[in-house]
A and B are shown apart, each in its own frame.
Chain A
């Protein structure tokens, strides 16, 4: 099987097309593309873990894993079919490199908290709509009070929460004791800087703003 080792950011759209057969990509997948690339290409160190809590629109994630050689390119064919390990929500038991199965919203942050409590550095991707789920806030509150500085959450904010987040998502995290910033979700340098900025005694929230 072909393991890709030389593919780059510019190859991702073609890999997504290989998944879906469609030149025009699902908005929920496109919204995470830049963040995922920066994280895997520039931020994650040996031993770090990435949890895709927002399991919706995983074609960017699968394309990235293929580009980085974590899964063979051939797996991209047959996306969503009965015998394919790649479904519309990822399953950790089926896909190498996938740390958690996700799809039902609001689970990844709590699992990440458990890992960070015993010393792991963990990055979690959630969506602004996903934050509607109250379970997220149990984790946000506790992580802030416990000062879990090994935890970084990226909120991909594509304004999909039905009732919005008046005052900005970052203000909610800041109130709970997080270091919270908002960056342009398409700006790789800004994303990299925000994701690499660990703050002693505080978990980090990076709101990556992505507008259609």
Chain B
């Protein structure tokens, strides 16, 4: 079952089980979450969708808001900034489509900028699940508080779930090993790319607030690689700040900045962005060679 399908089940259940929960939709998802007195579908009106969520939060409800990534985060960006952030109100934003799941739909339905855009606003918890079971836990946690939470669902998946709310070392190399931090669904390609390398691989799904203490504890060497499934470098500043008192080199991989005019399969997009195992491996080798040339 995909994260998206599971989300629809859980949102429908939450409406009946938790009297504070409300769901706000702009048509997308309305056919999947059955009618309920607190399921509000406002039509194709995303600015209204966020404003309504803010109004519900002012009345003490816990709104879940859902759409495709670009229509949830980018189209109503000022409503997210002001109606939720500036008013200091909580909501759970749940997107699907991630960076390029909507590969055949083209640029209009893709939003690799989402995490960087939301991370530019204060107070957001940003969750990047790499497995459907992780996304279930994230939603349950989000419904248990009143924070501003963004959960970024994707069709990409790792084989097994790991709780990545704190940085977790998945494979430990030597003390001098290359350190690779894989975010969400990039873990399995990272593990494949580093199979025969001396590398420590760590996993993280909650990228804001960023687990700086966990990173400091886990990094033993100097070479750090960050692999994110969205705009490259979105968390590079967090990594640099966490390690600012230590000599280190950082390579930040992710979706490159650019107008990417291709359709096809999402796997083709992943490969074109250098985020499949082969592409990550090539970047790691270049990074290691460049380090040696500096010695």
Contacts and interface: CB of A to CB of B under 8 A. Distances in A.
Interface of A: 91-93, 99-101, 104, 106-107, 109-118, 120, 134-135, 138-139, 141-142
Contacts of A115: 55-56, 58-59
Nearest to A109: B51
B78 to A, nearest CB: 6
B59 A114 contact: yes
A112 to B, nearest CB: 6
A160 to B, nearest CB: 21
Contacts of B63: 114
Given A101-B82, A135-B79, A139-B48, 18 more contacts: A100-B58, A106-B47, A107-B82, A109-B51, A110-B51, A110-B52, A110-B55, A111-B51, A111-B52, A111-B87, A113-B42, A114-B51, A114-B63, A118-B56, A134-B47, A135-B51, A141-B45, A142-B48
B51 A142 contact: no
A139 B53 CA distance: 13
5 contacts: A101-B82, A110-B79, A114-B56, A135-B51, A138-B48
Contacts of A91: 86
Size band of the interface chain B makes with A: 20 to 34
The 3 A-B residue pairs with the shortest CB-CB distance, nearest first, are: A114-B55, A110-B51, A114-B52
Interface centre among B24, B48, B55, B57 (most CB of A within 10 A): B55
A115 B45 CA distance: 17
A111 B54 CA distance: 6
B56 A110 contact: no
A189 B42 CA distance: 36
Contacts of B9: none
B78 A117 contact: no
B47 A111 contact: no
A114 B47 contact: no
Given A92-B87, A142-B42, A110 B58 contact: no
A134 B38 CA distance: 26
B43 interface: yes
Contact of B79 (A107, A112, A142): A107
Contact of A117 (B47, B52, B86): B52
Contacts of A134: 47
B82 A114 contact: no
Contacts of A109: 51
Given A110-B83, A142-B45, A99 B51 contact: no
Nearest to A104: B82
Contacts of A111: 51-52, 54-55, 58, 83, 87
Contacts of B47: 106, 110, 134-135, 138
Given A114-B52, A142-B45, A99 B83 contact: no
B88 interface: yes
A191 to B, nearest CB: 25
B40 interface: yes
Contacts of A139: 45, 48, 51
A135 B80 CA distance: 13
Contact of B42 (A118, A120, A138): A138
A100 B50 CA distance: 14
Contacts of A141: 43, 45
Interface in B18-41: 22, 24, 38, 40
